[in-house]
A and B are shown apart, each in its own frame.
Chain A
Amino acid sequence: MSDSLMTITRVLSRTLVAASMLVSLLPIDVAAQAPVAPAPPPGPVARMPDGKPDLNGFFQSDHGGANWGLEPHKEAFTGGGRGVIIDPPDGKLPYQPWAREEKASRARPERGYDDPTAHCIVAGVPRSLWVPAPVHIFQTPDHVVFLHERMSWRTVYLNRKTHLPDTIRLWQGDSIGRWEGDTLVVETKNLNGKPWLNEVGDVISHTATIVERFTPVNANRIDYQVTVTDPSVYTRPWTAQIPINRQPGEMLEVACLEDNQDLKHLKEVRDEARAKAAAEGAK
């Protein structure tokens, strides 16, 4: 697909023939699914005027199905997952027993309603980088800002060395960053513990410290590693690794709450399970 600009307006409509839906764009090559010539090799890492890597642009992670499981898993509807955990070496999340049980509970259909993203709330850190949606990175000498397609953002402050007071708790946490050579090292604290790590309910709490390392390796790819240290959930820190690749095109709007059909259904599933449990408890 070429880099031409596309004018996008709302694509949501209850009637397909709404004339107000205007989409003008270049035709997509129908042969997109046919074999294409190999792309030329990517160029070197782009640089800002101060010599630091330039991470600006439109990307999507090669998430390996992480939004449906950080460990290797088979899942036909979403394509399964290769497993993204590189430490511990067995690729498994080092859960404390209570957290393992909580995760198992969250995987049940009646708990789908408890996933904050079902309510269109942010996916949080680091889940926003492995949901199946792109991200635009906007960088200045003092800030790196991740813009997520469900219309949320996360700011990494390069001009601050200490975190916000501990009493301030945020959905995206508080991220401060520094360059170590060509690697952007980001530490995030001040989490509110409310997000889930993915749709299957992997757990992160307000006691977590997250350290991310973004290392651009060429003009089109960032190697991403994230280490989660969460003493109330896990028995030790763990690290995941996912490539983040530059994409053609640009951000679109995802107005998650518009004509949202899933949320009421998830509530019905939850309420049905509760009614059933109450009826059985009353016997």
Chain B
Amino acid sequence: MTLKTCCVTAALILGIAAPAVVAHHSFSAEFDITKTVKVTGKVSSVRWSNPHAWIYIDVPGEDGKVVNWAFETATANALFRRGWRKDDLLPGTAVTAEGWLARNGTPTANTSAITLPDGRRLFAGSAPNEGTTR
């Protein structure tokens, strides 16, 4: 199934996006590592919550209906150290978000990377080289 079909299907089933939450514990219980997603749309809002931030993205489906996707990221501090700045994600910013799909069937994903309009691709999850020598 293509991503767009996936998005449209999800939209048809759900109608609207449920407010998605994810466990601090057991990512694998909440997300499916085998199901990668990639969506392009516009940031609707960002929630700098703990212990994960959430980026909400309006993604137009093939049927013209817009689905609001919820992409979970690391904490604000971790994003900051990976080069993210709050002004990168103002509402209306066109972004491409990549991640792994939630198991619960909602348009929710655990983020691996976000690509910004200027071409920067910023990583959002755990950094494998974190803490290595600078």
Contacts and interface: CB of A to CB of B under 8 A. Distances in A.
Given A16-B91, A79-B126, A221-B133, A21 B86 contact: yes
A188 interface: no
A79 B50 contact: no
Contacts of B128: 79-80
A256 B50 contact: yes
Contact of B23 (A11, A112, A117, A220): A112
Contacts of A264: 21
Interface string A242-253: 001111110011
A61 B81 CA distance: 15
A148 to B, nearest CB: 12
B125 interface: yes
Contact of B110 (A11, A28, A77): A77
A105 to B, nearest CB: 13
Interface residues of A, number: 62
Size class of the contact patch on chain B:
35 or more
Contacts of A108: 26
B134 A109 contact: no
B134 A220 contact: yes
Given A78-B126, A262-B24, A39 B80 contact: no
B25 A199 contact: yes
A132 interface: yes
A149 B51 contact: no
Nearest to A39: B134
B130 interface: yes
A77 B74 CA distance: 11
B2 interface: no
B26 A107 contact: yes
A263 B77 CA distance: 19
Interface string B89-108: 11100000000100000000
Interface in B43-57: 43, 45-52, 54
B29 interface: yes
A118 B50 contact: no
Given A13-B48, A252-B77, A255-B50, A262 B22 contact: yes
A7 interface: no
Interface in A221-270: 221, 244-249, 252-266, 269
Interface in A1-52: 11-17, 21, 23, 28, 30, 32-33, 39, 42
A77 B25 contact: no
Contact of A118 (B25, B28, B46): B25
A109 B90 contact: no
A245 B29 contact: no
A78 B27 contact: yes
A259 B50 contact: yes
A30 B117 CA distance: 13
Interface of A: 11-17, 21, 23, 28, 30, 32-33, 39, 42, 60-63, 75-80, 107-109, 111-112, 115, 117-118, 120, 132-133, 149, 199, 220-221, 244-249, 252-266, 269
25 contacts: A11-B77, A11-B86, A16-B91, A17-B90, A23-B86, A28-B85, A30-B83, A30-B118, A30-B120, A62-B132, A63-B131, A75-B28, A77-B100, A77-B125, A79-B127, A79-B128, A109-B23, A109-B25, A109-B26, A117-B24, A118-B24, A132-B78, A260-B50, A263-B24, A266-B23
